[in-house]
Every structure is written in structure tokens, then in C-alpha cells.
Chains A and B, each alone.
Chain A
Amino acid sequence: MSVLPKDISFDQASPAPRSEGPAALSVEAVSHSYGKRKALDNVSFSVEPSSFTVLLGLNGAGKSTLFSLITRLYSTQTGSIRIFGYEVGHDPGEALRRLGVVFQARTLDMDLSIQQNLLYHAALHGIGTQETKARAAIVLEQTSMADRAKDKVRDLSGGQMRRVEIARALLHRPQMLLLDEPTVGLDIKARADILAHVRKLVAHSGIGVLWTTHLIDEVYPEDNVVVLHQGKILDKGRVSDVVARTGVADMRAAFTKLTGSGPAGGDS
């Protein structure tokens, strides 16, 4: 672990100090419809640098739609989404280069090695081979996958693939990391490892993280939480504040009370 704080040397010059600079991610008054069906209704929240924000919602809450909008699969119909002040629709290049993404579906090339996967991803960001190899050594070290770099992805376990995907998402040094239900399909230990790893990234490197999940036990008391239900935000803020406002004992009860339905506690 001694390598961690030094290695994740994201330049601190770019994300300005929290209180003054733009939010790592800011979603303002975003609504989105598919035909008549409204998937998102006036959604606003922000993720600060150096913070871990959980987007909590059941399946069908609108998490995937929001994810597609932030990653510019579709453009925003109403409202705006900014990454460090860059609007995703107007300035996609500048916004997307500051964003790291871990998709819910596996997106690694099974037939290629870990290193080949990383080289490909880096090329998509215009980062050359030599630079990528140096960076890959670091991100793989962080994820304890350094000795597997030449292995085919097909031979990895589900948890290892996830770790590689996180390493890949960090290759271009984003200051905002987006993870869409990253622990789905993993066993308990792998889940805990991934969660701990990403939390460590937040603590050491100052990146902002938006972690979407429907698993309430992934929310810690010190996190920020955004509760999304049927396209609407029911509450947001520090977990302790949300719990207090709802007048219940813990986040699980708060979620149940807010949505009128219970969240999943374990794996899906």
C-alpha cells in the first residue's frame, strides 16, 4: 500500500479547490423522455471533487438513462450536465476526457490481454503506447493486477475483470469516475474489495466518484447519497442528513420510507 498515495498522482492543478472550482459533475434540471414515457424528471445534483456519491435507486429508477446522458450516448433533452464546468453536449471532448467510466456490462475484449485492452482504451484517448505502458504499470499495481498484464481477459474472474475495468477507466487520469452498478454479479469478497478500492481512490487522489447501485449496504454513513425513484429525486445529501430528515434510524429505513418499497440488501 505504500505506493498508493504517491502513485495516484493526479495533478491537483486542474480540479480547483473544492469550495471555488466547478463541481466534478453537475446535473442541472435534467429531464428525459422516451416518447411519452418520462424516464427522468427534473433531476439535479452534483458531485464534488474528492467525494463519494451514491446514486441509489431500484431497477427502472432512471439510473441507466442518466448514465447514458452523462456519457453522451444520447444528448440531453432538457437541462444540462457538466463535468468540471464543461457541458457534455457543447464541449463533449473536454467533458469526456475528464471522465472515467465503468459500465455495468463487461466491456473488455475477452480475446485480448489486459495490456492490449488498456492500450486500446488509451489510444481512444489519444495516449501513445509508451506512455500507456508506464501508466498501465501504475494502475495495475494499484489494483494488484500487475503480474497478470499479459494474461487474456477470458482467464480472469469476475472481480478481477472489474478491477481491470476500473484500472482502465483511470488510465487517462480522469478527475471524475462514474461506475454503473459495478458490483453486480460479484461475490461478497470481490464486492468489498472493489468498494474499498474505489473509496481509497477518492481519499488519496481527489477524484469525484458517482457510484450507482440498488444495494443499500454499499452506502456508508459519511457518503453523499442521491435517492432516485421513478425518474425523480426523492432526497439527496449526506446520508446522516437524509436519515435525520426522514425521521428513521438508518439509510435502509430511510430508503424504504422515501420510495415506499424496500431496497435489495444483497446481490441481485
Chain B
Amino acid sequence: MTSLSTDLPLRKGFGLAQYAICLKGIVWREALRFLHQRERFVSALVRPLVWLFIFAAGFRSVLGVSIIPPYDTYVLYDVYITPGLMAMIQLFNGMQSSLSMVYDREMGNMRTLLVSPLPRWYVLTSKLAAGVAVSILQVYAYLVVAFLWGIEPESPLGYLTVLPALILSGLMLGALGMLLSSAIKQLESFAGVMNFVIFPMFFASSALYPLWRVQEGSPWLAFACELNPFTHAVELIRFAFYQQVSWLSLAVVFGCTVLFLGGAIIAYDPSRGMLVRRGGPE
């Protein structure tokens, strides 16, 4: 047993290696959970495919998409909505992990995470990173099917250049979910999240239709779409998929990530957070 008791008495503080182990452990658990919940994987994959195979196919002839950046030629509707569907996968994933955090908190899993001796901001950020990793797995799984359907970027390099955009948009949507999770008390509230967060964010964005189209129909809606951070996540991904950068979208997504994550860390802070204000343990 001698080898096991060498770490005590404890040295003060934590080394870099311990931070790395913690991050690895959280990501590993998230991935394991994802793989074990096969239905979650299947439904995460089927959802965008339903949009692609049915919705996009149906609208293919109705909606023409003119030449707008980043496209330098006319594109088919299913090509147009692919970046939007990638972002949708991440939106659902971000909200689902927020649901799991509410669930975790009620079931006590979140409690075990929060008693980690490592700094709370670090633990929460690691949890967020784990969710982003899972969402990126889902996006690439979708891209494989889309490729078989004939949808691909101009150059295979697009698969690579879209990755940083996916990381950033995943962080933003995950952080938003985390922020919401601190405010949601009941498990059932996910229906509310669907109605008040997911649907408005998804439909009032450039995911399904280009903004100039929306502008024709309703300038107000177009304005709302431009304010919607999800629009910028979609555009960031769209441009990156074509090896370009939309600087405005990059700035908005980055800014929102900082804002949402900062809010979530404050919300989970024991002294300032909403946990206190909401009135004690359940």
C-alpha cells in the first residue's frame, strides 16, 4: 500500500496534469454517455436528415437561392440549408446538455461535479467542452450522410476549415444552454425551452432561408434575424465550410460565447448565483 499513500500529505494547489486529467475525465464520461444512449445518437442524426431529405427536397423547386456570398454560383436548396442544419444539431445538443444539467442537478450528478476541488469555472468550462466535442461528432456524422446525398463543400478542405467554426458555435450554444439550465427549475421545462428558445432561434435565423428573402416578406423579422446570435453561428459555419471568414459573425459569436459563459459561471457561483436566490435545496 505504500505506493498509494505517497500523495498525502497533500501539497497545496493543483498541477497542470491534474487539470488535464479532470478535463479528460469529463469529456470521456460525456462521450461514453452519448455512446451508451443510442437513441440520443440516432435521433440527433435523424433530425437534420428529416429536414434534409424531406423539407429541403420539398422546397427545392419552390425556393431558388440566388448568388450570395459565400456561394459563387447558384446552389440548390439542400446545399443552402446544410450549414443551418449543422448549427441546428449544435443548438439541440446545447439545449439537451442543458436539460441534462437540470436533470443532473435534480438527480444529484451535478452535485458531484460541483464538489470537485478544482475551480468551479474550470469544471463548468470542461463540461461545456465535453458537450461541444459530442456535438461535433454529431455534425460530422451528419456530413457523412450529406456527402452520400451529394452535398459537399467546394473543396474537401472545407471539412477542415469548418471545424474551428463548429467549436466556437458549439461553445456559444452550449454556454447558452448552461446559462438557461441555471435558471430552469423543473425537468419538464424542456418543453418551454423548445418553444421559447429552440424554435424562435432556429426559425428566426438564416438557417432555412437567406435574409434577403426574409427582408422581402417582413423587414421586422429580418431585423430580428440579424440580431439573433444563431444566425451568426449559421453564417460563421456557412462561410467556414467554403473556406471563408464572416468577420461580423465571428465577432458576434465570440462575444456571445464570452457573455453566456460568463453568465453561466456567475449563475453557478455559490455566493452570487441563482441557486441561492431560488430558495434552497429542493
Contact = CB atoms under 8 A, between A and B. Distances in A.
B271 A126 contact: no
Given A92-B117, A123-B26, A123-B28, A10 B112 contact: no
Nearest to A68: B281
Contacts, number: 147
B22 A126 contact: yes
B9 interface: yes
A13 B115 CA distance: 24
Contacts of A135: 4
B25 A120 contact: yes
A98 interface: yes
A126 B18 contact: yes
A10 B275 CA distance: 35
Interface in B94-130: 106-109, 111-120, 123
Interface in B255-282: 270-271, 275-276, 279-281
A9 B107 contact: no
Interface in B232-253: none
Nearest to B1: A9
Contacts of A95: 117
B112 A107 contact: yes
Contact of B109 (A11, A71, A92, A109): A109
Question: What bracket does the count of chain A residues touching chain B fall in?
Answer: 35 or more
A200 interface: no
A90 B123 CA distance: 18
B29 interface: yes
A135 B8 CA distance: 14
B25 A11 contact: no
Of A64, A67, A103, A134, the most chain B CB neighbours within 10 A belong to A103
B117 A14 contact: no
Contacts of B5: 9-11, 173
Interface of A: 6-7, 9-11, 13-14, 34-35, 37, 39, 64-65, 67-68, 71-75, 89, 92-99, 101, 103-107, 109, 111-112, 116, 119-128, 131, 134-135, 138, 173
